[in-house]
Amino acid sequence: MEIDLFSVITEWLPYLLGGVVVTVGLVASALIIGACLGLPMAIGQVYGSRPVKYVIGLYVWFFRGLPVLVLLFMFYFTIFPLLDPNIDAFVVGAVVLGLRGAAYQSQIFRGAIQSISEGQMTAARSLGMSRVMAIRTIIIPQAVRIALPGWSNEYPNILTDSAICYAIGVAELLTRTSQIVAQTYITMPIYLLCALMFILLNLAGMRVIAYLEKRVAIPGFSGGSHTGIV
Amino acid sequence: MSFEAAPFIDFCINTLFPALADGLLITVLLVLITAPFGLAFGVLLAVGRVYGKSYSHWFCRLFVGFVKGCPLMLLLFILYFGLPTIPYVGITLDAFTASVIGFICCNSAYNSEYVRGAILSVKEGQLVAASALGMTKRQAIMYIVLPQALRRAIPGLSNEFIYLIKYSSLAYMITLVELTGAGKLVFSKYFEPGVFFVVGIVYLALITVTTVGANALEKKYAVPGTQKR
């Protein structure tokens, strides 16, 4: 088999890079959905009434207990067709990864909120703040910063999980990789190229998150150990 | 889409449950074969990373980095579709073997992170004390560090075991019909919308039972006084 590997790769590289864009879009929307739902859920789980806690607990149990693949099939073949028969697979993938991420992220945020001592809440209340105001201005700004190291672990998890969207045909990196393999009959080099891209995405994302962590850090606050926070 | 309970229950009993039972068996086999190897290699990788000389240290680091960085699905594709195409050495694996190997790689890489953290949490003075008592480094690691570290790693390891149950569903992507695959095949044939919910319930049951078992295990192997807190 005489195929010029280099020319094949240069020919297909733009297509593969398009997959990188889709993957990044998938991961970014999943992270954003996850954070937007996860933080309120964490607050609900710590400060909410009993039924609220129960419902959120059930949600977390459901989404953490099921494999991504089953969730994707469930939403793609059963739940979303009820809403809109022509739903785009990308939307399903992003929503499923986001809802699942929310379950995980809520636990990260919950741990962070619980690590802030109750005395702060009491102090805020004694200063005349309402509970909502205390949560919004005292608890959340600290909790989000404490949660960042744990939250940064969410990124590689969602990145690797995003590849599972291959199963419902989202044109992300892995899907395009297997399309190229099917077209060119070049297998290992293309797979390894795909692996390299995932690893680079992973490293690049972690860099961005590390930068973010530094940006929002308050001097003298946080920094690795959370034991200093009283 | 109309939904009636009685025909669905009939459908479950006659068609779905037998198919899912076969799939469940494969899933359980996958998990039970993978887990011991995943644990053993995980401990080896962790020891290699903490105590290894340059070669083994870097090999372990690279292996863990690669497996954690690339999606498990891609790893399975490489093992199942990629390996047979390598000229001269082409290794053809059947779907079950390829899945087990892929899961062992993934499971051991993640396990090694927990074990590594646990090893690092054992005070270094203990190694010094052990060598002062005339133990070799190997003996000290085997009899002093690991028995403590493994106990501390149990919560993480059982967490990873639960992940393994969930990730075993990916074997379907390389044509192995396990629990998810069985559900998908039944769905593709009958287009019964409830199928994936039944599959989901089976997974939730599996995972809930495992969680209870893991908590019991953790309590049983906790040595009084060796907890972190």
From the CB of residue A183, how many other CB atoms can be counted at a distance below 10 Å? 12
Q: Which residues of B touch A (CB under 8 A)?
A: 1, 65-66, 68-74, 77-78, 81-82, 85-86, 165-170, 172-173, 180, 183-184, 187, 193-197, 199-200, 203-204, 207-208
Chain B touched by A206 (CB under 8 Å): no
Check residue B226 and give its pLDDT.
55
pLDDT (0 to 100) of residue A17:
93
Q: pLDDT value at position B222?
A: 77
pLDDT at A1 over 70: no
- Which token pair is A94? 């992003």
Q: Which among B27, B89, B169 is the top mutation candidate for probing chain A, defined by the most A β-carbons within 10 Å of its own β-carbon?
A: B169
The CA distance from A88 to A106, in Å, is 27
| Residues in chain A, total | 230
For B132: left if phi > 0, alpha if psi spans -120 to 50, otherwise beta; the answer is: alpha
Q: Quick check: A229 pLDDT over 80?
A: no
pLDDT of residue A145: 87
Average pLDDT of the segment spanning A145-160: 89
The tens place of each residue's pLDDT in chain B, 229 residues long, gives 556 677 888 888 888 999 999 999 999 999 999 999 999 999 999 999 999 888 999 999 999 999 999 999 999 999 999 998 888 887 889 999 999 999 999 999 999 999 999 999 998 899 999 999 999 999 999 999 999 999 889 989 999 999 999 999 999 999 999 999 999 999 999 888 889 999 999 999 999 999 999 999 888 887 776 555 4
| Residue B224: other Cβ atoms inside 10 A | 5
Q: How far away is chain B from the Cα of A15, in angstroms, using its nearest Cα?
A: 18
Q: Which residue in A66, A166, A181 is closest to B200 by CB distance? A: A66
The ipTM value here is: 0.89
Give the Å distances, CA to CA, from B177 to A61, B170, B173, B182.
26, 10, 9, 6
**Which residues on B lie below 8 Å from A178 (Cβ)?**
77
Inter-chain CB proximity A177 and B78 less than 8 Å: no
Indicate yes or no: CB of B203 within 8 angstroms of CB of A66. yes
Mean pLDDT for all residues in chain A: 89
Q: Which domains does chain A have, with CATH numbers?
A: 5-216 (1.10.3720.10)
Q: Which of A68, A82, A188 sits opposite B1 (nearest CB)?
A: A82
> Considering Cα of B101, then B106, then B109, then B110, what sign does the dihedral take?
negative
CA atoms within 13 A on the CB side of A180: 29
Q: Find the residue in B nearest to A178 (Cα).
A: B77
Residue of B nearest to A58 (CA): B204
Note whether A163 contacts B: Cβ–Cβ < 8 A: yes
DSSP assignments along A29-51, one per residue = HHHHHHHHHHHHHHHHHHHS-HH
The answer to whether A102 touches A56, Cβ cutoff 8 Å, is no
What are chain B's domains? 5-221 (1.10.3720.10)
